[in-house]
């Protein structure tokens, strides 16, 4: 009960939206590149095939 009145527990905490938006922009740039997208799809298919054959 004593912790309810601590000021630091009531303050709004900053989030990392700016860092997240930078990551989102980077992923969008990569996805727009067809070479990268083809490579990623091939990699996922290869990993999935190896997983399913085990």
Q: Is residue 9 included in any domain, yes or no? A: no
Q: Is residue 25 included in any domain, yes or no? A: yes
Domain residues for the domain of 43 are 16-53
Contact 31, 37 (CB under 8 A): yes
Total domains, the chain:
1
Q: Is residue 21 included in any domain, yes or no? A: yes
Q: Is residue 1 included in any domain, yes or no? A: no
Q: Is residue 45 included in any domain, yes or no? A: yes
Q: Is residue 33 included in any domain, yes or no? A: yes
| Alpha carbons 26 and 31: distance in angstroms, whole number | 9
Q: What is the pLDDT along the chain (54 residues), one digit of tens a residue?
A: 555 556 566 666 666 667 788 888 998 999 899 999 999 999 999 999 999 998
Task: Kindly report the pTM of this predicted structure.
Answer: 0.52
State how far the alpha carbon of 46 is from the alpha carbons of 2, 27, 54, in Å: 56, 21, 13
């Amino acid at each position: 009960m004593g912790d309810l009145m601590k000021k630091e527990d009531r303050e709004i905490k900053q989030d990392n939206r700016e860092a997240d938006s930078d990551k989102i922009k980077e992923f969008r740039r990569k996805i727009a590149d067809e070479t990268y997208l083809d490579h990623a799809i091939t990699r996922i298919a290869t990993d999935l095939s190896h997983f399913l054959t085990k």
